[in-house]
Amino acid sequence: MTPGSRLIVAIDGPAASGKATLGRRLAAALGLPYLDTGLLYRAVGRRVLDAGDDPSDPIAATRAARALAAADLARDDLRGPAADAAASRVAALPAVRAALLDFQRAFGRTTGAVVDGRDIGTVIFPDAQVKLFVTASPEERARRRWLELRGRGFDVSLARVQADMQARDEADAARATAPLRPAPDAVLLDTTTLDADAALAQALTLVGR
Ligand code: CDP
């Protein structure tokens, strides 16, 4: 990294791979702001559902994306099966992604940032100094998400969580615009057998701290 340039750490990966936990902790360790871009798509999906519209409807979803406000990101209903599915559906629409692009690129422009999502290293910050592609086995990711959902009071089976997650990952990877895939220069970090401390330690080594 050249002296004085802002450090952007781009973290991508499939559902429940540990991106957000790692991103939050890495940002704190580096003294940088953190952006979970999944929240943007979740909040757009929620707005569409609130309006009684279909999350796959480009006009309704783009209207919701353009109207997004900070308060939408603080809602307490952005997680759970309905929010997951709506987020993935609005995220497949190019006009929705375009409406959210400037906000993401401007985030941390003066300070640097840790940003996580699906297309951070490929589309949002292709010049990020550090790119991580965080993954874990499907079974471990499903187990983590199931525990999280149960902790939030959702009565869902592990099998259902794994099936929903697989469907969402497949949709995210197959879409034409900004599909989920590692940037060619991303470093793979498999967290299947790593706890949060071990994942952070590996990421800090990769960042060179
Ligand atoms: O927490 P989890 O990994 O399950 O999902 P998330 O990161 O909150 O993202 C929710 C959904 O938003 C994903 O399934 C993607 O469809 C979409 N997303 C995206 O398309 N691009 C991003 N940069 C972030 C999320």
Domain boundaries, the chain: 6-33+112-209, 38-106
| Average confidence (pLDDT) over 123-141 | 96
pLDDT at 68 over 70: yes
Pocket test for ligand 1, best of 19, 78, 84, 93 (most atoms within 8 A of CB): 84
pLDDT at 10 over 70: yes
For the domain with range 6-33+112-209, which CATH number is right: 3.40.50.300, 1.10.10.60, 3.30.500.10, 3.40.50.20?
Answer: 3.40.50.300
Cα(91) to centroid of ligand 1, in Å?
8
Alpha-carbon distance of 208 to 80, in angstroms, equals: 36
Nearest CA to ligand 1 atom 2: 15
pLDDT confidence bin for 5, thresholds 50/70/90 = low
Cα(150) to centroid of ligand 1, in Å?
20
What is the number of alpha carbons within 13 Å of residue 35 lying toward its C-beta? 25
Asked whether the beta carbons of 27 and 62 are under 8 A apart, the reply is: no
Share of the chain above pLDDT 90, in %: 94
pLDDT at 2 over 90: no
Instruction: Please give the angle made by the CA atoms of 25, 152 and 37, to the nearest 5 degrees.
Output: 45
**Closest ligand 1 atom to Cα of 89:** 16
Q: What's residue 109's pLDDT?
A: 83
Alpha-carbon distance of 64 to 59, in angstroms, equals: 9
| Average confidence (pLDDT) over 110-118 | 96
Tallying the residues shown for the chain, one arrives at 209
User: Got the DSSP string for 89-131?
Assistant: HHHT-HHHHHHHHHHHHHTTTTT-EEEEESSIIIII-TT-SEE
Cα(81) to centroid of ligand 1, in Å?
13
pLDDT at 128 over 50: yes
Q: Is the pTM of this model over 0.85?
A: yes
